[in-house]
């Protein structure tokens, strides 16, 4: 009689993680859409955002150094990597495709956003969610990872 409630909690937990994955994917889809329609990959908009943020920071801080020596001089590749990275994360999360590696990419993107001093109260839950998706097989529970893992059992992309 004890086993049934445990199965229910397990199912509820899996469904909650999958629902969170969809929300996470939708957030990244919106970010990619916003950057694409506003031309962030082909204009200096990101450099302008970085310069504005740099003017608000202590010049001796890590974030100021990151912006001054990496993000601003390399704003064009950074904007391309961020926008395309958001597209990849959105696709992976929404389709349940290569969820664990895609979650790793999202963590990389989020840490770089944080390094540039664009950290806000929403960032910790996103960082925790990225780690959660890296450590759970949510693509196996509901997504293409289950189908692709059956076809390619040795591939680390679909575990």
Q: In terms of residue numbers, what domain contains 51? A: 26-158
User: pLDDT at position 29, please?
Assistant: 98
Q: What is the CA radius of gyration of the chain?
A: 18
* Count of structural domains, the chain: 1
Closest CA to 90 of 48, 36, 154: 36
- Judge whether 126 lies within some domain: yes
Q: For the packed helices 99-115 and 75-95, what is the interaxial angle rounded to 10 degrees?
A: 140
- Judge whether 88 lies within some domain: yes
Token pair for residue 159? 């575990």
- Judge whether 109 lies within some domain: yes
CA distance 159 to 145: 7
Sorted by sequence, the CB contacts under 8 Å of residue 86 that are 6+ apart come out as 28, 29, 31, 32, 35, 109
User: pLDDT at position 4, please?
Assistant: 59
User: pLDDT at position 39, please?
Assistant: 93
Mean pLDDT, consecutive 10-residue segments, the chain of 159 residues? 67 93 97 94 93 93 94 95 97 97 97 86 93 95 94 92
């Amino acid at each position: 009689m004890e086993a049934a409630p445990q199965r229910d909690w397990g199912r509820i937990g899996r469904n909650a993680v999958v629902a969170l994955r969809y929300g996470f994917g939708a957030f990244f889809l919106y970010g990619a859409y916003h950057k694409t329609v506003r031309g962030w990959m082909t204009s200096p908009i990101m450099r302008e955002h970085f310069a504005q943020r740099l003017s608000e920071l202590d010049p001796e801080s890590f974030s100021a150094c990151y912006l001054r020596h990496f993000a601003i001089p390399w704003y064009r590749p950074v904007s391309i990597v961020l926008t395309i990275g958001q597209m990849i994360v959105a696709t992976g999360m929404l389709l349940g495709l290569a969820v664990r590696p895609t979650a790793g990419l999202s963590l990389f993107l989020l840490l770089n956003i944080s390094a540039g001093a664009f950290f806000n109260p929403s960032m910790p839950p996103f960082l925790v969610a990225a780690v959660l998706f890296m450590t759970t097989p949510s693509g196996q529970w509901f997504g293409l990872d289950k189908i692709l893992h059956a076809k390619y059992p040795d591939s680390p992309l679909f575990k």
